[in-house]
Structure 1
Amino acid sequence: MKFGKVFKRVVVFIAIFTLLVGSCLLSYSKSSSTIKLGVNLELSGAVAQYGQRALEGIKMATDEINKKGGILGKKIELVIFDNKSDKTEALNIATRLATKENVLAILGCTTSGATKSAAVAAMKYKIPIISPTATDDKLTLDERTGKTKAYVFRVCFNDSFQGDVMAKFALKTLKVKSVAIIYDASSDYSKGLEKNFKVAFTKGGGKIVAEEAFAKSEQEFSGILTKIKAKNPEAIFAPVYYDEAGLIIKQARELGIKVPIMGGDGFDDPKVAEKAGSKYANNVYFSTHYSGQDPDKKVQDFIKKYKQLYKNEPNAFVATSYDLVYLVADAIKRANSTTDREKLRKALEDTKNFAGVTGVITINKYHNAQKAAVIIELKNGVQVFKQKINP
């Protein structure tokens, strides 16, 4: 009998102790001296260049903010994970950041497929996820209801806008009436841009003379390009990432295809000219989020600081990720909380006329960034500002 009473007292003590410890841990997480922001990026794998450049922009902005005293008296602490350019890993990391790491928000991913996967965890655990560069139209929308996903945001324009921009550029600036399209059938990004360009181009009076899809990780495009050459298009639109872009340009030029080759922001990486070769990287045009040739003081100051740190030219992935951190910092200030995810979500929704390096950003009702697009031309592999197109 006495043993039973002692046992019951021990059980009660353990239960009370567990509650007290849990309460202390909860109190600690809410009164942490830092603001924990999760980073979910493609730091290795097929599109590592994007994640690595994005991380540079994120770290650069974070260091600047922390040197100035942080946000609401607290400094930013980055919790960084590599999703290895894998959608499943992106979801696993987002789940860990939302639960085990208990971060305030998730920065990333850079690609549409990985971000859509990670967004599943963001919605489940009610944590804001903000991508610097994922452009797929469906990213922020619930495909069943058509409603905006409450916790999913981006600081870049979407494929509808980007596809429309490149279609107008082809029709009005290049003055072409027939285009062939090459796209990656395994990529949400590629399929989204292909669809939106086609709609806008044909609506504007243009004709799609060929559409050729390829499988993931394709390296040989000569067969596809030979078919396209036979159709005599006035231009080629290839909404692909940098590896495929460089190879398509090189192999097209080697086949004697001299027409303009166009793409989206996936072309915005030095690897394109590297893989194509500078002599072939001509008459190439793509839409992106920013140009280093913009004379705006904010842009030039950013470039100067980046060069001092990384001894290189910043591309759009650096710039949009840099803007991402400052935009989130601005939202945290307006939310007046360093721990409340819901208040941050609302502040992100209310973002208007945020002046960033990549332009003035307003988050619309679909959680997309309304901002201008830039057209870049490659001349002997060197990026040259062509024009800016507003929403």
Structure 2
Amino acid sequence: MARMWQLWQQGSWFAVGLMVAVFVACSSPAITEIRIGAIAPLTGDVATTSGQPTLDGITLAIQQVNAQGGIPIDGTLYPITLVTADDQDNPNQAVAAANRLINQENIIALVGVPLSRIATPVASVAEQAQVPMVSSKSTNLDTTAGKLYSFRATFTDTFQGQVLATFAAHELNLQRAAILYDVASNYNQDLAKIFTAAFTARGGKIVASESYVTGENNFQAQLKTIRAADPEVLFLPNYPAEVILQAQQARELGIEAVLIGGDAWSGLAEVSEPSLAGAYYTSDWVLDLGTPASQAFVAAYQAEYQRLPTSAAALGYDAVQLVIEAIRAADSLDPVKIRDRLAAIQYVGVTGTIKFSRTGDPIKGAAIIRIDGGDRVFDRLVTPD
């Protein structure tokens, strides 16, 4: 420092600048790891159906990469460190977790955040910080709308709402539909709205549309109104715990309409509920997809966790693999470069081929699943036009 002061007094600006640059360079921490953050609901009603499977899929993918030495950056392999946070299915908790992971844990990307009601506010945090985020399972349009750094590994509500409307009207030949949905949740509300528009555009009629607020468990009043409208199909764009109660209460009231639902029903994969027999729902992935990537994932997941994976696990796996492939392509830990590579990616994953076109919404299809007792039967795959 004395020498630097002497040079400063002598007016040797170049020498001082050089010494400052060397000082800063020497004090900058060297890369030792690649830090990726994961946010998921690990406690609460959706922990077992959504949060833990999502984290299990993410963890498996990272374990596989680290077993090969990590990701190469400028010719050197670096391991991935996964930093996790429990959002407790609470938007405020999720936003706090995202800020902590970005500002204190120094992550370079965020993955997980499967629920739309959580992913949307977290995406705003990631956007402001210019940190790429890949939601595994959020289908709500607001998660990616108007954002450069927000991506998803699944289809959108617009696509699945249209798929369900077409399936009900044209394949099942049902013309009278009723809807029961949570008015306090963007996912439920938007999917109900999209289905309504698409179903009526295909010649169907919405004979009843009833709502409730998150936390309700008695749907008798709404279902009695629906029963009086005599629908042929009852759309329940809701989460598993509520769907089970709604299906049970609907059947108890004598409602015989075919039940249909969105991708949130994938959380019912291991549930055997008689009132859901013959129901249909959309899904991002099915066990018997049969592709090499899917088969390899199922085998690895079973070996690691001693159980079969759900679509939540498969999408968690694909979400972090998208980030991993983008880092490889960028050959850099610069979040901006990773984001640019994500936008141009074409990844053949467990849940199918994922590629983005000008937005964070991938071009990919949706499977329709039929519930047959305790089994889930693949009915068909619907791809974008």
* TM-score, scaled to structure 1: 0.88
1:43 has 2:42 as partner: yes
- 1:341 corresponding residue in structure 2: 335
1:135 has 2:129 as partner: no
Whether the 8 Å contact between 2:259 and 2:276 is mirrored in structure 1 is no
Whether the 8 Å contact between 1:91 and 1:119 is mirrored in structure 2 is no
Amino acid at match of 2:53: R
Amino acid at match of 2:81: E
Amino acid at match of 1:39: A
Identity of aligned residues (%): 35
Whether the 8 Å contact between 1:273 and 1:281 is mirrored in structure 2 is no
- 1:125 corresponding residue in structure 2: 129
Whether the 8 Å contact between 1:98 and 1:121 is mirrored in structure 2 is no
Please give the residue correspondences for 1:72-87 in structure 2 after superposition, counting only pairs within 5 Å.
72=72, 73-87=77-91
Q: Equivalents in 1 of 2:292, 2:128: separation in Å?
A: 41
- 2:345 corresponding residue in structure 1: 351
Per-residue deviation, 1:293: 1.6
1:332 has 2:327 as partner: yes
Amino acid at match of 2:263: D
Q: Equivalents in 2 of 1:236, 1:214: separation in Å?
A: 15
- 2:64 corresponding residue in structure 1: 64
- 2:281 corresponding residue in structure 1: 286
Q: Equivalents in 1 of 2:245, 2:371: separation in Å?
A: 15
Q: Equivalents in 1 of 2:70, 2:144: separation in Å?
A: 29
Q: Equivalents in 2 of 1:39, 1:140: separation in Å?
A: 18
- 1:295 corresponding residue in structure 2: 290
Q: Equivalents in 2 of 1:296, 1:124: separation in Å?
A: 38
Instruction: Tell which deviates more after alignment, 103-112 or 246-255.
Output: 246-255
- 1:13 corresponding residue in structure 2: none
Per-residue deviation, 1:258: 2.1
- 1:219 corresponding residue in structure 2: 217
Per-residue deviation, 1:227: 1.2
Q: Equivalents in 2 of 1:272, 1:245: separation in Å?
A: 14
CA 1:304–1:262: 2 relative to 1, 3 Å: same
**Alignment deviations for residues 101-145 of structure 1 (CA, whole Å, 9 cap, x no partner):** 11110112111111111122112211111100011112111xxxx
**Alignment deviations for residues 327-380 of structure 1 (CA, whole Å, 9 cap, x no partner):** 11111111111x20100010111112x101111111121210110100011111
Please give the residue correspondences for 1:191-206 in structure 2 after superposition, counting only pairs within 5 Å.
191-206=189-204
Amino acid at match of 1:34: E
CA 1:205–1:35: 2 relative to 1, 3 Å: same
Whether the 8 Å contact between 2:132 and 2:335 is mirrored in structure 1 is yes
**Alignment deviations for residues 65-105 of structure 1 (CA, whole Å, 9 cap, x no partner):** 11122111111110011011100111111111111111110
- SS of residue matched to 1:384: strand
Whether the 8 Å contact between 1:242 and 1:271 is mirrored in structure 2 is no
Q: Equivalents in 1 of 2:212, 2:358: separation in Å?
A: 35
Q: Equivalents in 1 of 2:288, 2:26: separation in Å?
A: 50
Per-residue deviation, 1:23: 4.5
CA 1:25–1:35: 2 relative to 1, 3 Å: farther
Whether the 8 Å contact between 1:246 and 1:273 is mirrored in structure 2 is no
- 1:11 corresponding residue in structure 2: none
Q: Equivalents in 2 of 1:80, 1:25: separation in Å?
A: 31
RMSD: 1.8
Whether the 8 Å contact between 1:281 and 1:381 is mirrored in structure 2 is no
Whether the 8 Å contact between 1:361 and 1:371 is mirrored in structure 2 is yes
Whether the 8 Å contact between 2:55 and 2:112 is mirrored in structure 1 is no
- 2:379 corresponding residue in structure 1: 386
Q: Equivalents in 2 of 1:107, 1:298: separation in Å?
A: 20
- 2:239 corresponding residue in structure 1: 241
Please give the residue correspondences for 1:75-114 in structure 2 after superposition, counting only pairs within 5 Å.
75-114=79-118
Q: Equivalents in 2 of 1:164, 1:377: separation in Å?
A: 17
CA 1:58–1:122: 2 relative to 1, 3 Å: same
- SS of residue matched to 1:370: coil
Q: Equivalents in 1 of 2:375, 2:25: separation in Å?
A: 57
The equivalent position to 1:157 in structure 2, one of 155, 159, 184, is 155
Per-residue deviation, 1:32: 2.3
Q: Equivalents in 1 of 2:368, 2:269: separation in Å?
A: 18
CA 1:272–1:217: 2 relative to 1, 3 Å: farther
- 1:6 corresponding residue in structure 2: none
Please give the residue correspondences for 1:246-261 in structure 2 after superposition, counting only pairs within 5 Å.
246-261=244-259
Whether the 8 Å contact between 1:242 and 1:272 is mirrored in structure 2 is no
Instruction: Tell which deviates more after alignment, 290-299 or 156-165.
Output: 290-299
Instruction: Tell which deviates more after alignment, 42-51 or 92-101.
Output: 42-51
Amino acid at match of 2:110: I
Structure 2: tracts of 5 or more residues without a match:
1-19
Amino acid at match of 1:35: I
Structure 1: tracts of 5 or more residues without a match:
1-18, 142-147
